[in-house]
């Protein structure tokens, strides 16, 4: 095993060699249910149903007709295939039409003779709730002759067999199936680009994809409600924040087009250092326009400050307001805030008079840093914003000004640690050794009369 591996790659390597899969919504190990494995390894305990699998153009749906893993067996047309199984296949093919045909993502790698020998993506229905909605897993046995695992892998899906409301309260069965399929199938497509990537990159993309396939269900909003409270947690953290970080992909797609998200994955295997997802985003951003990850993260943070006005995001009028982390009083002694990499803080600026309001931030030398002063005119959902943004790839003093501060409903200073440099990978922490944690930023404001 090479050094510098991400958690996704470690899990992919484990399944390829030992049979332990990557789980998008939990950590319970699972075998491919249709394979013959020793009892007690979460495989099917009975043979598949006589009509299983049901195959379409791109998928094969597997099920059993006995025991806990059996889906609802109602069969309205008497063809031997439960209506629920037929519905799963219809959802699967619709997801393929959007993710592969419309958005242009690469087809998954064929699994060859596994799962019935048709080379299509296999989907197994099993009783996995309430801990899991579903998961995608690379198959074991993909290591090469030299013992190393390829960057591109094939895999399979396991979905809950009914999304019973008792097991999944406060959700809707049909919606659960749709967004889970869109999410987990995107992981299968990710494996075909590069299984050697950071979990935040994989999960934020898969949650973003849910809304591309099924816009209107908006299941991802429950993650955004957590995201806004985790302002001290880096964008790149392997934590619950990574699901809500779909908003980062939404911002990128709004500014560069949805193809940029695919291009970041298409180029991921060639980005350096290997498996460092920030480098994949950086390469895609630089190829799309004259910008960079740090500069765009600063612009993103500035837009988040008043995102409910609709600026920068497609449907952010549905998002919760991003909370402020204090106030920056003009004329008061400078504040110091310590920010981790790829984080930002919002400070309310109570300025109601004067010719203009000015904010200055001083960052340590060598730190990619950003500052924005954002004024909102009008209401949260129907107003507009005026912004002044400064960015430096090497720290120092940044200044932002807004004229006529009395003309705004709210003024916010956005201070950004846009630096995502890392020095190697920590196998013990399952994360990169980021270099700019707890960076001090000195912040002051004044009124120009």
Query: Structural domains in the chain?
Result: 7-219+257-291 (no CATH), 325-448 (2.60.120.1220)
Question: Which region among 28-37, 336-345, 353-362, 418-427 has the lowest average model confidence (pLDDT)?
Answer: 28-37
Q: Give the Cα separation of 239 and 148 in Å (integer).
A: 28
What pLDDT score was predicted for residue 2? 21
| Residue 136 dihedral angles phi and psi, to the nearest 5° | -115, 140
Q: What's residue 15's pLDDT?
A: 38
Tell how strand 356-363 and strand 155-160 pair up. unpaired
Range of lowest pLDDT (129-133, 141-145, 434-438): 141-145
Which pLDDT tens digit goes with each residue over 196-215?
899 999 999 999 999 999 99
Task: Judge contact between 253 and 243, C-beta under 8 A.
Answer: no
Phi, psi of 359 (to 5 degrees): -120, 135
In the predicted structure, residue 38 carries a pLDDT above the cut 70: no
Kind of pairing between the strands at 59-62 and 343-348: unpaired
The mean predicted confidence, pLDDT, of the chain is 90
Tens of pLDDT, residues 363-404: 999 999 999 999 999 999 999 999 999 999 999 999 999 999
Provide the pLDDT confidence category of residue 35 given band limits of 50, 70 and 90: low
pLDDT in the model for residue 135: 94
DSSP string, 242-262: HHHTHHHHHHHHHHH-THHHH
Mean pLDDT of 58-65: 97
- pLDDT above 90 covers a percentage of the chain that reads 81
- Write the pLDDT tens digit of every residue in 226-252: 999 999 999 999 999 999 999 999 999
Confidence (pTM): 0.91
The backbone torsions φ and ψ at residue 448, rounded to the nearest 5 degrees and listed phi first, read -95, 115
């Amino acid at each position: 095993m090479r050094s510098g591996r991400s958690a996704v790659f470690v899990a992919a390597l484990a399944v390829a060699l030992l049979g332990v899969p990557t789980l998008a919504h939990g950590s319970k190990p699972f075998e491919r249910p249709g394979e013959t494995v020793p009892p007690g390894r979460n495989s099917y305990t009975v043979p598949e149903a006589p009509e299983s699998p049901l195959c379409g153009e791109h998928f094969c749906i597997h099920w059993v007709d006995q025991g806990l893993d059996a889906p609802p067996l109602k069969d309205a047309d008497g063809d031997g295939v439960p209506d629920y199984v037929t519905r799963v296949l219809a959802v699967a093919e619709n997801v393929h039409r959007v993710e592969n045909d419309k958005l242009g993502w690469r087809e998954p790698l064929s699994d060859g003779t596994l799962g019935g020998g048709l080379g299509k993506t296999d989907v197994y229905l099993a009783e996995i709730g309430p801990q899991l909605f579903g998961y995608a897993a690379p198959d074991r046995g993909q290591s090469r002759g030299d013992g190393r695992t390829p960057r591109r892998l094939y895999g399979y899906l396991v979905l809950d067999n009914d999304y019973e409301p008792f097991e999944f309260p406060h959700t809707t069965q049909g919606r659960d199936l749709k967004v889970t399929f869109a999410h987990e199938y995107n992981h299968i497509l990710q494996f075909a680009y590069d299984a050697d990537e950071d979990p935040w990159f994989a999960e934020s993309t898969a949650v973003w994809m849910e809304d591309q396939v099924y816009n209107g269900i908006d299941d991802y909003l429950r993650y955004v409600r957590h995201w806004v409270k985790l302002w001290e947690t880096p964008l790149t953290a392997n934590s619950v924040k990574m699901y809500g970080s779909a908003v980062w992909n939404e911002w990128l797609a709004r500014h560069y087009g949805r193809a940029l998200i695919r291009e970041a994955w298409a180029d991921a295997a060639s980005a350096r250092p290997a498996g460092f997802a920030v480098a994949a985003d950086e390469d895609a951003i630089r190829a799309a326009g004259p910008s960079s990850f740090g500069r765009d993260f600063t612009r993103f943070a500035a837009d988040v400050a008043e995102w409910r006005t609709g600026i920068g995001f497609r449907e952010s009028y549905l998002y919760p307001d991003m909370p402020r982390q204090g106030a920056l009083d003009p004329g008061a002694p400078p504040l110091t805030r310590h920010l981790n990499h790829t984080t930002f803080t919002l400070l309310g600026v109570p300025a109601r008079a004067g010719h203009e309001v000015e904010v200055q931030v001083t960052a340590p030398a060598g730190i990619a840093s950003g500052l924005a002063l954002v004024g909102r005119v009008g209401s949260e959902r129907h107003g507009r914003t005026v912004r002044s943004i400064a960015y430096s790839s090497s720290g120092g003093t940044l200044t932002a000004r807004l004229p006529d501060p009395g003309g705004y409903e709210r003024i916010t200073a956005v201070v950004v640690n846009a630096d995502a440099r890392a020095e190697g990978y920590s196998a013990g922490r399952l994360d990169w050794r980021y270099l700019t944690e707890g960076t001090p930023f000195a912040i002051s404001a004044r009124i120009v009369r």
